Chains A and B, each alone.
Chain A
Amino acid sequence: MSLSIQDLLATAAVAPGSVDAFLARHPFPLVEGRTVTFVFRGHADSVELVHWIFGLESSLPFQRVHGTELWHLSMDLPERSRVEYKLGVRRGMHHALIRDPLNERVARDPYGANSVVHGSGYQVPDWTNDDPFARRGEIVDRRIHSDAFGEERAVQVYLPARFRTTRRYPLLVVHDGPDYVQFAALRTILDNLIHRLEVPPLIAALTASPNRMTEYADDERHARFLADELVPDLERAYPLDPGADARGLMGASFGAVASLAAAWRRPGRFGRLLLQSGSFAFTDIGPHGRGPLFDPVVRFVNAFRAAPGRPAGKLFVTCGMYESLIYYNRSLIPLLTSTGMEVRFVEAPDGHNWENWRDRLREGLSWLFPGPAWAVYE
């Protein structure tokens, strides 16, 4: 297949008018089959694609179309992929990292926003969007005194629509919960999945840490806070199902480490784990090379690999194929399975980002907490 950019370049001399027409004719980035073409127009000495795809050079240079200010880069993009990126634009001594001016699609995260390209066949799942028919849950603020941390901690509690004190609810503790709500549409997704009966009405505790890189890295204080302070507090306040099968921990990146570590330190307390892009770095020999913040993580994962026990009943593990962490996550699956826990592992053609984690929530939550959709017809 001839790419549109090749057709443009095939003309003997690209006139400004043909560049205008080219830009007006196509959406950008231009996805043609398995190839994506990024385009930038403007005065620059160099342009590069900055991305976070493990296995590729982290910045890829654009080519300038001779005699114009049009820059382009074509690369392979497997079907159903989702890639976040920025453009690095250099003008003399000035270098700027910007979002793609020709692409309105952005993904937000705690550090700002990136441009996003969707590979052929990728669609934003409909269950991540507001459904006007779905009843809305509510989020209430709660403060809990923690002896473990020696201070008061704020927690947001998601209560499902039609919450009643007369029934018992599963509890899902979400690490970085407010970020999940803001960047991964967690509240909307819970509303939708509960409305669709794909998960049962559940209560979610949305936790956040002022020092997550320490507290989430297998910190005994964190396990104590979750198991011995947060959960008992919520049990006093809300009608929770007491069984471990109805208790879940969830998190992404270091939040996944925190989830697995807390369940490991308190086996039998949390029967369901949803681990997304877990930073499960380990060493077989030599240094891990990921910096000192990973030291306690590596110590934990090495210890876990030596004696995993059976911290939970069901685990849903996801990771992006474009993350360096995919190696650790893939390595962990046989070990998790060997313990007798039910494990489901899903790889996605995506990176270490919130929309990747968002897109896996339906499959993960409905597997860990299956709803009554099959038998309910309202």
Chain B
Amino acid sequence: MRATAILGPQRHAPCVRDALRSLPGHDPQRPVALVSAGWEEREREHDELQQHVACKVLNLEVFHRVEDVYRRDAELHRAVRERNERMRRLQSFYRTRLAHALSAARELLAADAETDLVEPERHEAVLAVRTIDLHHLDRLRGEHHAFWSKWRPEQRDAIAHHRRELRAILARCSALCVAGGHVGVLLNRLRLLALLDLVPELPVVAWSAGAMALSNRVVLFHDSPPQGPSDPEVFEAGLGVLGGVVPLPHAQYRLRLDDRARASLIARRFAPDLCLPLFGGEHLAWREGRWSARNPVQRLDLDGSLTEVAA
């Protein structure tokens, strides 16, 4: 099983060097591979990361490779756009259902009534939200499955070419780092190149959007955006490398963590998965099917409070 670590945002509290050192079989003489496709056109600007880690960083240039794929394979590019449009419409349908279910759940969670009377209703209301989330996740997976079955991206020349190059680079590396950025762009490109399948055993260190992309389901969230929706929503099926967690990076800026009722609904909705706010400097390792905190890591509890994950 692949050794994996997820970290809080790295810009102001970098800990990726320590995370790499703690990986099994880490060899500082070998380079580490980097996926920074979430940075989009700034993908190649990894100087800060290079200065922080002690070994050589090989940027896999996943964003630019997929741009090249789209240039060389217009048919596939068109198919990707059509799939994305279908998924965008699915997201819109999902939001419509979600808004009503969340409104009911919030109202009941705030209701002033006897516990024995209202608690079963609260439970059912949260279950209704979960049902919508899970249905949406199934629909998203269905779209990916249909796309993959029809187009067989790994067999198309443009992608096969880049996969060969990537396999050769990754064979020299002791670990793979997946940085944050735009989680949709990052996830789509990792998925299109089936990058993680190239090296099933290679340890991975991921942070921010990188951690989100590696989880089972990608949850977008922002309690106080200047415009648009503010309800956390399942945005995508993740790559499934990390089980049992919902990474919520930058939660201190994006979530009203002092609003216990609001935070509680997030934790209850995504239970039994652990909701991890992923503050700067946090480091959680996944090995042998278990999570362990390498330094103090907070989780969002069902009552909306923050609790330290046991080391």
Residue A306 interfacial (CB < 8 Å): no
Interface size class of B (residues with CB under 8 A): 20 to 34
Cα of A378 to Cα of B43 in the assembled complex, Å: 12
Residues in A whose Cβ lies below 8 Å from that of B225 = 198, 373-374
The answer to whether B226 and A375 have CB atoms under 8 Å apart is no
- Inter-chain contact total with CB atoms closer than 8 Å: 57
Cα of A18 to Cα of B161 in the assembled complex, Å: 87
Q: Taking the nearest CB of chain A, how far is it from the CB of B254, in angstroms?
A: 8
Cα of A372 to Cα of B41 in the assembled complex, Å: 14
Residues in A whose Cβ lies below 8 Å from that of B209 = 376-378
Cα of A162 to Cα of B181 in the assembled complex, Å: 15
Residues in B whose Cβ lies below 8 Å from that of A367 = 226-227
Residues in B whose Cβ lies below 8 Å from that of A133 = 12
Q: Which residue of B lies closest to A362 (CB)?
A: B226
Residues in B whose Cβ lies below 8 Å from that of A164 = 41-42
Q: Which residue of A lies closest to B235 (CB)?
A: A375
Residue A2 interfacial (CB < 8 Å): no
Residue A339 interfacial (CB < 8 Å): no
Cα of A373 to Cα of B229 in the assembled complex, Å: 11
Q: Which one, A167, A374, A376, contacts B41 given CB within 8 A?
A: A167
Cα of A374 to Cα of B38 in the assembled complex, Å: 13
Contact status of A377 and B249, CB under 8 A, knowing A133-B12, A164-B42, A167-B41: yes
Q: Give A359-378 as 1s and 0s: 1 = Cβ < 8 Å from B's Cβ atoms.
A: 00011001100101111111
Q: Which one, B184, B222, B228, contacts A370 given CB within 8 A?
A: B228
Residue B9 interfacial (CB < 8 Å): yes
Cα of A373 to Cα of B223 in the assembled complex, Å: 11
Q: Which of B127-186 contact A (CB under 8 A)?
A: 180-184
Size of interface on A: residues with Cβ below 8 Å to B = 19
Cα of A377 to Cα of B212 in the assembled complex, Å: 9
Cα of A377 to Cα of B279 in the assembled complex, Å: 12
Q: Which residue of B lies closest to A366 (CB)?
A: B226
The answer to whether A378 and B11 have CB atoms under 8 Å apart is yes
Q: Give A134-177 as 1s and 0s: 1 = Cβ < 8 Å from B's Cβ atoms.
A: 00000000000000000000000000001010110000000000
Contact status of A378 and B41, CB under 8 A, knowing A198-B225, A367-B227: no
Cα of A87 to Cα of B181 in the assembled complex, Å: 52
Q: Which residue of A lies closest to B44 (CB)?
A: A166
Residues in B whose Cβ lies below 8 Å from that of A366 = 226-227
Cα of A363 to Cα of B224 in the assembled complex, Å: 12
Q: Taking the nearest CB of chain B, how far is it from the CB of A315, in angstroms?
A: 15
Cα of A167 to Cα of B235 in the assembled complex, Å: 26
The answer to whether A363 and B11 have CB atoms under 8 Å apart is no
The answer to whether A374 and B180 have CB atoms under 8 Å apart is no
Residue B260 interfacial (CB < 8 Å): no
Residue B4 interfacial (CB < 8 Å): no
Cα of A271 to Cα of B291 in the assembled complex, Å: 51
The 9 closest A-B pairs by CB, nearest first: A366-B226, A377-B209, A377-B208, A378-B180, A377-B249, A167-B41, A376-B182, A198-B226, A377-B180
Which residues does A use to contact B, with CB under 8 Å? Answer: 133, 162, 164, 166-167, 193, 198, 362-363, 366-367, 370, 372-378
10 A-B residue pairs with Cβ-Cβ distance under 8 Å, sorted by A, are: A366-B227, A372-B182, A373-B222, A374-B220, A374-B228, A375-B184, A376-B183, A377-B250, A378-B180, A378-B209
